[in-house]
Amino acid sequence: MNAPADPSQDPSSADAIAPGHWLGLLGGGQLGRMFCMAAQSLGYRVAVIDPADASPAGSVADLHLRADYLDGAALERMATLCRAATTEFENVPAAALDFLARRLRVTPSAASVAIAQDRISEKTFLSGSGFAVTPFAVLRGDADVAKASSTLLPGIVKSARLGYDGKGQARVATHEETASAFAALGRNPCVLERLIDLACEVSVVVARGDDGRTAAWPVAENLHRDGILDVSIAPARIEPTLAARAVETATGIAAALDYRGVLCVEMFVASGGELLVNEIAPRPHNSGHYTIDACVTSQFEQQARILAGMPPGATDQHTPAVMVNLLGDLWFDSDGRMRAPAWDRVLAHPACKLHLYGKHEPRRGRKMGHATCLGATLDDALATARAIRRTLGIRGVDAISAG
- What is the total count of domains within the chain? 3
> Which candidate, 307, 293, 241, places its Cα nearest to that of 101?
307
The angle formed by the CA atoms of residues 93, 96 and 98, to the nearest 5 degrees, is 110
**Whether residue 259 is found in the same domain as residue 380:** yes
- Do 215 and 97 belong together in one domain? no
Q: What would the mean pLDDT of 123-149 be, rounded to a whole number?
A: 96
Residue 216 and residue 300 in one domain:
yes
Contacts of 117 (CB under 8 A, 6+ apart): 90, 91, 94, 161
CATH number of the domain at 271, please.
3.30.470.20
207 pLDDT tier (thresholds 50, 70, 90): very high
Would residue 125 count as lying in a domain? no
For residue 57, the domain's CATH number is 3.40.50.20
**8 pLDDT higher than 80:** no
Helix-strand-coil split of the chain, %, nearest 5: 35, 25, 40
Per-residue pLDDT at 1 exceeds 80: no
The answer to whether the CB of 63 falls within 8 A of the CB of 88 is no
Q: How far apart (Å, rounded) are the C-alpha atoms in residues 319 and 351?
A: 11
* 90 plus 143 within the same structural domain: no
Of 141-155, 164-178, 216-230, the poorest mean pLDDT is in 164-178
130 domain-assigned? no
Identify the pLDDT of residue 6: 45
Query: Can you give the CATH number for the domain in which 144 is found?
Result: 3.30.1490.20
Instruction: Note the pLDDT of residue 11.
Output: 39
From 336, 338, 341, select the one nearest 390 (Cα to Cα): 341
For residue 36, the enclosing domain spans 7-116
Residue 165, pLDDT score: 58
2, part of any domain: no
**Do 153 and 244 fall into the same domain?**
no
Question: Same structural domain for residues 347 and 298?
Answer: yes
Asked if residues 46 and 24 have their Cβ atoms less than 8 Å apart, the reply is: yes
Question: Which has more pLDDT, 214 or 398?
Answer: 214
Mean pLDDT, range 127-141, rounded to an integer: 96
Q: Is residue 109 part of a domain?
A: yes
Whether 190 and 217 map to the same domain: the answer is no
Q: Which distant-in-sequence residues (6+ apart) come within 8 Å of 330 by Cβ?
A: 341, 362, 368, 392, 393, 394
What is the structure's pLDDT at 90? Answer: 85
Q: How far apart are CA 232 and CA 228, in angstroms?
A: 11
34: phi > 0 → left, psi -120 to 50 → alpha, else beta; which?
Answer: alpha
Residue ending a domain, among 144, 166, 194, is 194
**What mean pLDDT is reported for the chain?**
93
Kindly indicate the confidence band of residue 333, based on its pLDDT and cuts at 50, 70 and 90.
confident
Tens digit of each residue's pLDDT (9 = 90 or more) over 291-312: 999 999 999 999 999 999 999 9
What's the Cα-to-Cα distance from 271 to each of 113, 156, 194, 239, 274, rounded to whole Å? 31, 18, 14, 13, 7
pLDDT in tens, 74-98: 999 999 999 999 999 888 888 999 9
**What's the whole-number mean pLDDT along residues 6-13?**
44
Quick one: 323 and 392 in the same domain? yes
> Are 189 and 253 part of one and the same domain?
no
pLDDT at 400 over 90: no
Q: Is the pLDDT of residue 208 over 80?
A: yes
Distances (CA, A) of 380 to 207, 322, 347, 351: 29, 10, 16, 10
pLDDT at 10 over 70: no
> What does the pLDDT look like over 35-55, one tens digit per residue?
999 999 999 999 999 999 999
Please state, in angstroms and as integers, the Cα–Cα distance from residue 338 to each residue in 230, 341, 360, 390, 394, following that order: 22, 9, 13, 19, 16
* Burial bucket for residue 53 (CB in 10 Å: 0-12, 13-18, 19+): exposed
The DSSP element (H or E) to which 87 belongs, if any, is strand 84-87
Domain boundary among 194, 214, 244: 194
Phi/psi for 322 (5° steps) reads -130, 120
pLDDT at residue 285, as a whole number: 97
Q: Name which of 169, 209, 262 is nearest 10 in CA terms.
A: 209
d(CA 352, CA 384): 8
Q: Is the pLDDT of residue 262 over 60?
A: yes
Structural domain includes residue 317: yes
Find the mean pLDDT for residues 274-278.
96
Residue 179 within any structural domain of the chain: yes
Is 127 part of a structural domain of the chain?
A: no
Q: Which pTM does this prediction carry?
A: 0.93
- 204 in the same domain as 178: no
Residue type, 11: P
The phi, psi pair for 87, rounded to 5°, reads -135, 155
* Confidence tier at 14 by pLDDT (50, 70, 90): low
Residues in contact with 205: Cβ distance below 8 Å, sequence separation at least 6, in sequence order: 216, 217, 220, 250, 262, 263, 264, 284, 285, 287, 288, 291, 299
Last residue of a domain, one of 172, 194, 216: 194
Examine the domain organization and report whether 187 and 204 are in the same domain. Answer: no
Closest by Cα among 196, 186, 135 to 159? 186
Nearest to 359 by CA among 55, 127, 82: 55
152 and 112, same domain (yes or no):
no
Q: How far apart are the C-alpha atoms of 101 and 114, rounded to whole Å?
A: 14
Task: Give the integer Cα–Cα distance in Å for 178 and 352.
Answer: 44
Rg (alpha carbons) of the chain, rounded to whole number:
21
155, part of any domain: yes
